[in-house]
Structure 1
Amino acid sequence: MENVLKKLFVVLLLCLVQSAVCHADTFKGKIVNAETGEILIGATIRSEINPQPGWSMQNQTETDSTGCFFLNASWEGRIMFTFSMIGYKNARKVDYAYGKEVNDTTDLGIIKLQPTALMLKDVEVTAKMPRITMSGDTIVFNPEAFKLKEGARLDELIKKLPGVENRDGKLYWNNKPIRLMMNGKNLFGGDQIIGQLPAEVAGKLKLYDRKSELARHTGKDEGDEDHVLDIQVKPGFLDKWYGNVEAQYQTKKRYMFNVTASKLSDHDPQMVYAQANNANRYIDRTMNSSMNANIDGDGKSQYGSYNYQHNWQTKGADKFDNNSFDISANMGHSDGWNTIGKSTETFFPNQERTFAVSESYRYKHKITPQMQARLFAYTDSLNTISVNVKATYEKIRNTDEYKGASYGYEPNQFEYHSLSAALAAKLGDALYERLITRNRNYQSSEQQTRGINIDYTWKHFLGKKGSFSLQGYTNINGANEDTHINRNLEYLREKRSETVWQYYDRSNHNLSTRLGASFDYWFGKKVYVNILDNVTYSRTRTTRDFFTDNNEQNVVGGTPTTLDPTNAMSYLMHKWTNQLTLKSTITPVKALMIMPKFSWNVYRENTDYRYGPLDTTA
Structure 2
Amino acid sequence: MKKATMLTMWQWKSLFIPLLSLLIPVNIVAQNVTNRNGDTSVSNKKETRAISGQVLDYITHRRMPGVTVELLRTDSTIIKTRKTGGFSQSGDKITYFSYWNFDVAGNGTYLIRFTYDGYQTQYLKFKAVFGRREYTINAPDVYLKREEVRQLKEVVVTATKVKFYNKGDTLVYNADAFQLSEGSMLDALIRQMPGAELKSDGRIYVNGKFVESLLMNGKDFFKGNNQIMLDNLPTYMVNNVKVYEKQSKTSEFLGHDVDKKSLVMDVNLKKQYSISWMGNMELGSGLQNRYLARLFAMRFTDHSHFSAYSSINNLNDTRKPGENDTWKPSDLIGGLVSTKMGGIDYSIENRNQKLKVDGNVQIKHSDTDNLSNTNQENFLTGGNTFDRIKNSTRNYRTEIKTTHDIEITTKRMMLTLTPSLEYQKYDNRNEYLSGTFNADPISFGKNLLDSIYAPQMNAKLLQIAINRNMQHNKTTGHTLNTGLEAESVFNIPHSSDHWELETNLSYKDAAEDIFQQNRVDYLNKSNVTTDFRNQYTKNRPQHGWDFSGKALYAYTVKKGLTLNLYYKYQQNNYQGRDRSLYRLDRLAGWDDETTHKFGMLPSEAELISTLDSGNSYDATQHDMTHTLGWQLWMNKYTSNYFYWVQIDMPLNLLRQKMNYRQAKSDSLFTRHSTLLNLNNTFLQIQSKDKRTTFFTSYYIETETPDMTYLVNVRNDSNPLQLFLGNPHLKNTYHYKWYAVYYKSNPERQRIFRIQGACNMTSNAMVMGYTYDKSTGIRTIKPSNVNGNWDGYIRLKYETALDKKKLFTLTTSTSESYYHNVDLISIENSTDNKRSTVGTSYLSESLKFSYKLNSGIQFGVKADGTWTQASSKRDDFSTINAGDFNYGLTALISLPQKWQLSTDLTMYSRRGYDDSSMNTNDLVWNARLSKSLWNGKFLFMLDGFDILGNLSNITRSLTAQGRVEQYTNVMPRYAMLHLVYRLNIVPKKKK
TM-score band (shorter)? 0.5 to 0.7
**Alpha-carbon contact 1:465-1:523 (below 8 Å) kept:** no
* Structure 2 match to 1:249: 286
> What is residue 366 of structure 2 aligned with on the other side?
333
Alignment pair present for 1:475 and 2:526: no
Partner of 1:569: 617
Q: How does 1:171-570 map to 2 (within 5 A)?
A: 171-178=204-211, 179-188=213-222, 190=226, 192-193=228-229, 196-202=232-238, 208-228=244-264, 229=266, 231=268, 233-235=270-272, 237-252=274-289, 255-266=290-301, 267-277=304-314, 279=315, 298-313=335-350, 315=352, 318=353, 323-338=356-371, 360=390, 362-402=392-432, 441-462=471-492, 465-488=496-519, 498-508=531-541, 509-540=543-574, 541-548=576-583, 551-553=586-588, 555=590, 561-570=609-618
Task: State the one-letter code of the partner of 2:396.
Answer: K
CA deviation profile, 1:168-205 (whole Å, cap 9, x unmatched): 24444444444443444334465642564444534566
CA contact (8 A) 1:455 1:471 kept: yes
Contact 1:382 1:460 (C-alpha < 8 Å) held by counterparts: yes
CA offsets, 1:584-616, max 9 Å, x none?
A: 335699688776655332222221113343689
How far 1:571 moved relative to its partner? Answer: 1.6
| 1:109-166 superposed Cα distances (whole Å, 9 cap, x missing partner) | xxxxxxxxxxxxxxxx94499888887655667666x375685757489659985523
Q: C-alpha distance in 2, partners of 1:383/1:205?
A: 33
Q: Which amino acid aligns with 2:430?
A: D
The alpha-carbon deviation at position 230 of structure 1 amounts to 5.6
Q: CA deviation at 1:298?
A: 3.5
Return the letter of the residue paired with 1:609.
Answer: Y
Between the aligned partners of 2:373 and 2:636, the Cα distance in structure 1 is: 68
Alpha-carbon distance between aligned partners in 1 of 2:317 and 2:181, rounded to the nearest angstrom = 31
Count of matched residue pairs: 465
The answer as to whether partners of 2:519 and 2:531 remain within 8 angstroms in 1 is yes
With over 3 angstroms needed to count, the CA separation of the structure-2 counterparts of 1:602 and 1:232, relative to structure 1, is same
Change (3 A) 1:322 1:250: farther
Is residue 501–residue 549 contact of structure 1 (8 Å, CA) maintained in 2? yes
Residues 200-241 of structure 1 deviation map (CA, whole Å, 9 limit, x = unaligned): 534566555432333334443335223443615403553222
- Check 1:183–1:490 CA distance in 2 against 1; reply closer, same or farther (3 A cut): closer
What do the CA deviations read for 1:530-575 (whole angstroms, capped 9, x no partner)?
1221110001231122223654428596656322221121221111
Q: Any conservation in 1 of the 2:197–2:206 contact (CA below 8 Å)?
A: no
Contact 1:151 1:198 in 2 (8 A): no
Tell me the amino acid that sits aligned with residue 220 of structure 1: H
Return the alpha-carbon distance in structure 2 between the equivalents of residues 404 and 147 of structure 1: 51
User: Does the CA contact (< 8 Å) of 1:358 and 1:402 recur in 2?
Assistant: no
Distance 1:164 1:312, change over 3 A: farther
Distance 1:380 1:597, change over 3 A: closer
Q: Which amino acid aligns with 1:239?
A: S
2:429–2:474 Cα contact (<8 Å) kept: yes
Residues 24-63 of structure 1 aligned to structure 2 (within 5 Å): none
Call closer, same or farther: CA 1:503–1:177 in 2, change over 3 Å: closer
Q: Deviations over 1:278-330 (max 9, x none)?
A: x55699xxxxxxxx999986434232121221221264xx4xx5834112221
Q: Is the 8 A contact 1:133 1:141 kept in 2?
A: yes
Q: Does 1:581 align with 2:629?
A: yes
CA shift digits 1:31-67 (9 cap, x unpaired): xxxxxxxxxxxxxxxxxxxxxxxxxxxxxxxxxxxxx
Q: Is the 8 A contact 2:587 2:610 kept in 1?
A: no
Give the Å deviation of 1:514.
0.6
Aligned CA distance change for structure 1 residues 329 and 214 (closer, same or farther; 3 Å): closer
Q: Is the 8 A contact 1:489 1:497 kept in 2?
A: yes
Q: Which moved more, 1:495-504 or 1:265-274?
A: 495-504
CA distance in structure 1 between the partners assigned to 2:540 and 2:510 by the alignment? 6
Partner of 2:481, secondary structure, is strand
Counterpart Cα distance in 2 of 1:418 and 1:191: 42
Cα pair 2:389 2:435 within 8 Å, conserved = no
Q: Which amino acid aligns with 2:364?
A: M
Q: Does structure 1 conserve the Cα–Cα contact (< 8 Å) formed by 2:586 and 2:610?
A: no
Alpha-carbon distance in 2 for matches of 1:491, 1:186? 59
User: Contact 1:143/1:157 (CA < 8 Å) preserved in 2?
Assistant: no
**Structure 1 vs Structure 2 CA RMSD:** 5.1
Identity level (%)? 15
Report if aligned partners of 2:536, 2:584 keep a CA contact under 8 Å in 1: no
3-state DSSP class of the match of 2:305?
coil
Matched residues in 2 for 1:206 and 1:419: separation?
A: 55
What amino acid does structure 2 have at the position aligned with 1:513?
A: F
CA contact (8 A) 1:370 1:390 kept: no
Any idea what SS the aligned residue of 1:221 has?
coil
Change (3 A) 1:440 1:388: same
**8 A Cα contact 1:333 1:367, kept in partner:** yes
CA distance in 1, matches of 2:648, 2:387: 63
What is the CA–CA distance in structure 2 between the aligned matches of 1:507 and 1:328, rounded to whole Å? Answer: 27
Greater relative contact order (Cα < 8 A, sep 6+): 2
Counterpart AA for 1:313 = N
Aligned-partner Cα distance in 2 for 1:293–1:394: 28
Q: In terms of mean alpha carbon deviation, does 203-212 or 232-241 score higher? A: 203-212
Q: How far 1:373 sits from its partner (Å)?
A: 2.1
Aligned ranges 1:95-174 → 2 under 5 Å? 126-127=158-159, 146=177, 148=179, 151=182, 155=186, 159=190, 164-168=195-199, 169-174=202-207
- Runs (5+) with no aligned partner, structure 2: 1-19, 30-156, 320-328, 376-385, 438-443, 591-595, 665-712, 715-723, 725-826, 828-990
Deviation at 1:265, TM superposition (A): 1.0
The alpha-carbon deviation at position 430 of structure 1 amounts to: 13
